[in-house]
Structure 1
Amino acid sequence: MPRIASVIGFPRIGADRELKKAIEGYWKGRRELDEVRSTARELRERHWRIQVGHDIDLIASNDFSYYDRMLDTAILLGAIPERYRRLGLDAEDTLFAMGRGYQGPRGDVTALPMKKWFTTNYHYLVPEIEEPAQIRLNSEKPFEEFTEAKALGLVSKPVLIGPYTFLKLARGPQGGALDYDAGLIDAVASVYVEVLRRFIGLGAQWLQLDEPYLVLDKDEGDMALFRSLYSRILPARTSAHGSLKVLLQTYFGHVGDCYETLALLGFDGIGLDLVEGREGNLSALERYGVSEGTTIFAGVVNGRNIWRNDYAASLGLVDAVGRITPDVAVSTSCSLLHVPFSLEGEDGLGEPVRRHFAFAVEKLGELRRIAELADQDEAGLRADKALAANQSLFDGSRVRRDQAVVERLAALRPSDFTRHPARAERRTIQREELGLPLLPTTTIGSFPQTARVRAERARLRKREIGQEDYDRFIAGRIDSVIAEQERIGLDVLVHGEFERNDMVEYFGQRLKGFLFTRNAWVQSYGTRCVKPPIIWGDVSRPGPMTVRWSSYAQSKTDRMVKGMLTGPVTILNWSWPREDIGRKEQTEQLALAIRDEVEDLEAAGIRIIQIDEAALREKLPLRRSDWHRAYLDWAVPAFRLVHSGVRPGTQIHTHMCYSEFNDIIRDIDAMDADVISFEASRSDLTVLDAIQAAHFETEAGPGVYDIHSPRIPSQEEIEERIGQILHKMDAAKVWINPDCGLKTRGEAETWPSLEHMVAAARYVRARLEGAC
Structure 2
Amino acid sequence: MTTSIIGYPRIGAHRELKFATEKFFRQELSEAGLQAVAAEQRKENWQKQAAAGIDFIASNDFSFYDTTLDTAFALNIIPKRYQNLAISPLEKYFAAARGHQSEVGDVKALAMKKWFNTNYHYMVPEFDDGTTIQLDLTKLLSEYREALALGITTKPVLIGPFTLLKLIRFTGQTQISDVQNELVRAYAEILSQLVTEKVEWLQLDEPALVFDLTTEDISLFKAIYADLLPQKQTVKILLQTYFGDVRDIYTDLIQLDVDGIGLDFVEGRKTAELIATHGFPTDKKLFAGVVNGKNIWRNDYQKTLDILATLPKASVVIGTSCSLQHVPYTVNAESELSQDILRHFAFAEEKLLELKDLNDIFCHGQEDSLTANQVLFAAKRYQGNRAVQSKVAALGDADFTRTPDFSERENVQKAIFQLPKLPTTTIGSFPQTADVRKNRLNFKRGEISKAEYDTFNQEKTKDWIKWQEQVGFDILVHGEFERNDMVEYFGEKLDGYIFTKNAWVQSYGTRCVKPPIVWGDIARIQSLTVEDAVYAQSLTDKTLKGMLTGPVTILNWSFPREDISLKVSTLQIALAIQEEVLDLEQNGIKIIQIDEAALREKLPLRQTDWHSEYLDWAIPAFRLVHAKVAPETQIHTHMCYSEFTDIISAIDAMDADVISFEASRSDLSILDALQANGFRTQNGPGVYDIHSPRIPSVGEIQDVIRRILTKVPVEKLWINPDCGLKTRGVAEVKASLENLVKATQGIRSEL
Output the TM-score relative to the length of structure 1: 0.96
Q: d(CA) in 1 for partners of 2:189 and 2:274? A: 32
Residue matched to 1:518: 501
Q: d(CA) in 2 for partners of 1:29 and 1:484? A: 30
Residue matched to 2:175: 179
CA contact (8 A) 1:512 1:539 kept: yes
Q: d(CA) in 1 for partners of 2:305 and 2:461? A: 55
Displaced runs of 4 or more, over 6 A: none
Q: C-alpha deviations, 1:255-302, integer Å up to 9, x for none?
A: 01101111111210000000000x411222222222342111000110
Q: d(CA) in 1 for partners of 2:567 and 2:230? A: 47
Residue matched to 1:561: 544
1:143 aligns with 2:126: no
Q: Secondary structure at the match of 1:449?
A: coil
Q: Secondary structure at the match of 2:276?
A: helix
Q: Secondary structure at the match of 1:681?
A: coil
Q: d(CA) in 1 for partners of 2:314 and 2:353? A: 23
Residue matched to 1:393: 376
Q: d(CA) in 1 for partners of 2:126 and 2:135? A: 16
Q: C-alpha deviations, 1:492-513, integer Å up to 9, x for none?
A: 0000000000000000000000
Residue matched to 1:234: 229
Residue matched to 2:270: 280
Residue 693 to residue 461, structure 1, CA distance change in 2 (3 Å):
same
CA contact (8 A) 1:61 1:158 kept: yes
Residue matched to 1:737: 720
For 1:687-698, what aligned pairs fall within 5 Å after superposition? 687-698=670-681
Residue matched to 2:703: 720
CA contact (8 A) 1:216 1:622 kept: yes
CA contact (8 A) 2:5 2:54 kept: yes
Residue matched to 1:50: 48
Residue matched to 2:184: 189
CA contact (8 A) 1:67 1:527 kept: yes
Which residue, out of 691, 694, 710, partners 1:711? 694
**Deviation of residue 396 (structure 1)?**
5.7
Q: d(CA) in 2 for partners of 1:462 and 1:396? A: 35
AA aligned to 2:316 is V
Q: Secondary structure at the match of 1:578?
A: coil
**Deviation of residue 431 (structure 1)?**
0.6
Residue matched to 1:339: 327
Q: C-alpha deviations, 1:483-528, integer Å up to 9, x for none?
A: 1111110100000000000000000000000000000000000000
For 1:80-229, what aligned pairs fall within 5 Å after superposition? 80-131=78-129, 134-173=132-171, 179-181=175-177, 183-229=178-224
Residue matched to 1:434: 417
Which residue, out of 341, 355, 363, partners 1:375? 363
1:251 aligns with 2:242: yes
Residue matched to 2:443: 460
**Deviation of residue 677 (structure 1)?**
0.2
AA aligned to 1:625 is T
Q: Secondary structure at the match of 2:126?
A: coil
AA aligned to 1:221 is E
Q: d(CA) in 1 for partners of 2:422 and 2:705? A: 9
For 1:483-632, what aligned pairs fall within 5 Å after superposition? 483-632=466-615
Q: d(CA) in 2 for partners of 1:573 and 1:150? A: 39
Residue matched to 1:357: 345
AA aligned to 1:587 is T
Of stretches 133-142 and 485-494 in structure 1, the one that deviates more from structure 2 is 133-142
Q: d(CA) in 1 for partners of 2:71 and 2:491? A: 37
Q: C-alpha deviations, 1:411-451, integer Å up to 9, x for none?
A: 22211100000010000000111111110000000000000
Residue matched to 2:315: 327
AA aligned to 1:9 is G
Q: d(CA) in 1 for partners of 2:33 and 2:288? A: 39
**Deviation of residue 385 (structure 1)?**
2.8
Q: d(CA) in 2 for partners of 1:372 and 1:227? A: 37
AA aligned to 1:83 is R
Residue matched to 2:635: 652
CA contact (8 A) 2:464 2:478 kept: yes
For 1:48-87, what aligned pairs fall within 5 Å after superposition? 48-87=46-85
Residue matched to 2:299: 309
CA contact (8 A) 2:79 2:131 kept: no
Q: Secondary structure at the match of 1:65?
A: coil
Residue matched to 2:427: 444
Residue matched to 2:742: 759
CA contact (8 A) 1:270 1:296 kept: yes
Q: Secondary structure at the match of 1:303?
A: coil
**Deviation of residue 35 (structure 1)?**
0.7
Q: C-alpha deviations, 1:208-234, integer Å up to 9, x for none?
A: 000000000111111111112112221
Residue 499 to residue 268, structure 1, CA distance change in 2 (3 Å):
same
1:17 aligns with 2:23: no
Q: d(CA) in 1 for partners of 2:488 and 2:230? A: 50
**Deviation of residue 564 (structure 1)?**
0.1
Residue matched to 1:701: 684
RMSD value, Cα: 1.1
Q: d(CA) in 1 for partners of 2:293 and 2:709? A: 43
Q: d(CA) in 1 for partners of 2:535 and 2:28? A: 38
**Deviation of residue 395 (structure 1)?**
2.3
Q: d(CA) in 2 for partners of 1:188 and 1:573? A: 36
**Deviation of residue 45 (structure 1)?**
0.6
Q: d(CA) in 2 for partners of 1:418 and 1:515? A: 32
Q: Secondary structure at the match of 1:84?
A: helix
Q: d(CA) in 1 for partners of 2:282 and 2:439? A: 63
Which residue, out of 224, 245, 253, partners 1:262? 253
Q: d(CA) in 2 for partners of 1:50 and 1:507? A: 35
CA contact (8 A) 1:256 1:283 kept: no
AA aligned to 1:118 is F
1:366 aligns with 2:349: no
1:27 aligns with 2:25: yes
CA contact (8 A) 2:684 2:717 kept: yes
Q: Secondary structure at the match of 2:564?
A: coil
Q: d(CA) in 2 for partners of 1:130 and 1:289? A: 43
Residue matched to 2:289: 299
Output the TM-score relative to the length of structure 2: 0.99
Residue 396 to residue 653, structure 1, CA distance change in 2 (3 Å):
farther
CA contact (8 A) 1:132 1:187 kept: no
Q: d(CA) in 2 for partners of 1:136 and 1:59? A: 28
CA contact (8 A) 2:127 2:168 kept: yes
How many residues are paired up? 751
Q: d(CA) in 2 for partners of 1:597 and 1:92? A: 47
**Deviation of residue 88 (structure 1)?**
2.4
Of stretches 228-237 and 334-343 in structure 1, the one that deviates more from structure 2 is 228-237
Residue 736 to residue 157, structure 1, CA distance change in 2 (3 Å):
same
CA contact (8 A) 2:137 2:190 kept: no
Q: Secondary structure at the match of 1:677?
A: strand
